[in-house]
Amino acid sequence: MRLLDRYLLRELLVPLGQCLLGFYIFWVAFMLFTEMGQFQSRKTGAADVAAYYVFKTPEMLLTVVPVALLLAVLLALTNHARHHELVAMRAAGIGIWRLAAPCLGTGAVLSAGLLALSEWVAPRADELAAEIFTPGQAGPAESQWHPHLHFVNEREGRTWRARNYNKLSHEMLHPDVEWAQADGTRRQLFAERAWRTNDAWVFENVQLFIWTTAQPDVPARALTNRLVVREFAESPRLILSEIKIGAMDSYRISKKIRFTLAEIADYQRLHPELREPKRSELATQFHARLAAPWTCLVVVLVALPFGAMTGRRNVFVGVAASVFIVFAFYILSRLGMAAGTAGHVPPVLAAWGPLVLFGTVGAWMTARVR
């Protein structure tokens, strides 16, 4: 890394860290103010409150990092321009895109980091936060149980029902599984409880009814204390995706990105032939999840032309203009997501259209900087 790159990167990372810290303090203070009453009513200890906000931090970062990066780029470039450093660099024959390389590299790294954060860290952190504090419920133990589980594995032709399903231990109470075999035999299994272990479902106190093609009206009945079934491919992860996605209505899906790429893929494994509107909803969520982290690159491209302008000007004009453009980008992204969820525009266009549009405009404006 050249000395110039290290200098530009240092001048960017310092305001970026300051912005992130400031946003984090403001966010914790605001959330603590709004939720203090519920913490007090539940007699939540200080350690649990601190852990709750630690686990909520990944969710906050997904929203705050692009805004903090925007402000950091503007502050860094404005500071360079005020001290005529950009003029000196340009006079030395260094192009605008070469000067922007540290900012663009930081945006790309943060985009990849946010994608990994949203896919692997934030979902689990939200679950841990919910175990500590779930508003409107008596306690975390009750939130672990999902009542009246019912779903169909359309790919393999199995119907599952259970009176209760534990989302943490993956235990089923009073499960009922119905499926047909290739030879035309239909089977239905009733059990007192079931759990998943070693890639197999274990059923306890089982009644198994078998309808053959020879006697389709009178089933054969078998009883056993324990039955291990390895052919059932419905893993706890697949079931959790069914619970989360199947219970979500269209309005809530259109408001924000709610599912990970793995959850969407698992749900599509159970339902390979999705119908509208669920097909458009999940396709839009899938592309929106992929596109959202790359907002960091877009905000860098938007900030560059305003921050890199040289000459005598009001600094706040450039800051206000770039913030307004990014605000318009967020509005268009939300409108695109709603339109894609409703099936009015293709999901790819709904998710990636605002990114491509504003990124192209930012790159064009940057190329015209003199």
Q: Tell me, what's the pLDDT at 313?
A: 54
Q: Is the peptide bond before 147 cis (omega within 30 degrees of 0)?
A: no
Please check whether residue 304 is in contact with residue 278, taking contact to mean a CB–CB distance below 8 angstroms.
no
Q: Tell me, what's the pLDDT at 37?
A: 86
Q: How far apart are CA 42 and CA 56, in angstroms?
A: 19
Can you give the pLDDT of all 370 residues of the chain as single tens digits? Answer: 588 999 999 999 999 999 999 999 999 999 999 988 888 888 888 898 999 999 999 999 999 999 999 999 999 998 898 888 888 998 888 989 999 999 999 999 999 999 999 999 999 898 888 878 754 444 445 568 899 999 999 999 999 999 999 988 999 999 999 999 888 899 999 999 999 999 999 999 999 999 988 877 888 999 999 999 999 999 999 999 999 998 887 777 778 888 999 999 999 999 998 888 899 999 999 999 999 999 999 999 999 998 876 555 556 677 788 888 989 999 999 999 999 999 999 999 999 999 999 999 999 999 988 7
φ, ψ of residue 178 in degrees (nearest 5) = -125, 135
Which amino acid belongs to residue 97? W
Q: From the CB of residue 140, how many other CB atoms can be counted at a distance below 10 Å?
A: 13
| Span 85-101, pLDDT tens digits | 888 998 888 989 999 99
How many residues make up the chain in this entry? 370
Three-state secondary structure call for residue 38: helix
Q: From the CB of residue 28, how many other CB atoms can be counted at a distance below 10 Å?
A: 15
Nearest C-alpha neighbor of 38 from the set 105, 146, 115, 138: 138
Q: How far apart are CA 142 and CA 10, in angstroms?
A: 49
Residue 30: both structure tokens together: 């605001």
Residue with tokens 């069914």: 242
From the number of C-beta atoms within 10 Å of its C-beta (0-12, 13-18, 19+), residue 157 rates as exposed
Domains of the chain in start order, with CATH, are 3-136+291-367 (no CATH), 157-232 (2.60.450.10)
DSSP class of residue 293?
Answer: G
Based on its alpha-carbon atoms, the radius of gyration of the chain, rounded to whole angstroms, reads 27
Please check whether residue 198 is in contact with residue 223, taking contact to mean a CB–CB distance below 8 angstroms.
no
Across-strand partners of 211? 186
Q: How far apart are CA 216 and CA 210, in angstroms?
A: 9
Q: Tell me, what's the pLDDT at 22?
A: 96
E strands within the chain? 145-153, 158-166, 172-180, 186-190, 193-197, 200-211, 220-229
pTM given for the model: 0.86
Nearest C-alpha neighbor of 285 from the set 329, 245, 328, 332: 245
Q: Tell me, what's the pLDDT at 140?
A: 46
3-state helix, strand, coil in the chain (%, to 5): 60, 15, 20
DSSP class of residue 277?
Answer: T
Q: How far apart are CA 75 and CA 65, in angstroms?
A: 15
Nearest C-alpha neighbor of 224 from the set 235, 209, 245, 239: 209
Q: What is the dihedral of CA 218, 224, 228, 234, to 10 degrees?
A: 50
DSSP class of residue 272?
Answer: S
Q: ∠ CA 142-148-152 to the nearest 5 degrees? A: 130
Q: Tell me, what's the pLDDT at 44?
A: 83
Q: How far apart are CA 52 and CA 206, in angstroms?
A: 41
Q: How far apart are CA 233 and CA 287, in angstroms?
A: 27
Please check whether residue 50 is in contact with residue 31, taking contact to mean a CB–CB distance below 8 angstroms.
no
| Span 36-73, pLDDT tens digits | 888 888 888 889 899 999 999 999 999 999 999 999 99
Nearest C-alpha neighbor of 107 from the set 353, 259, 302: 302
Please check whether residue 173 is in contact with residue 154, taking contact to mean a CB–CB distance below 8 angstroms.
no
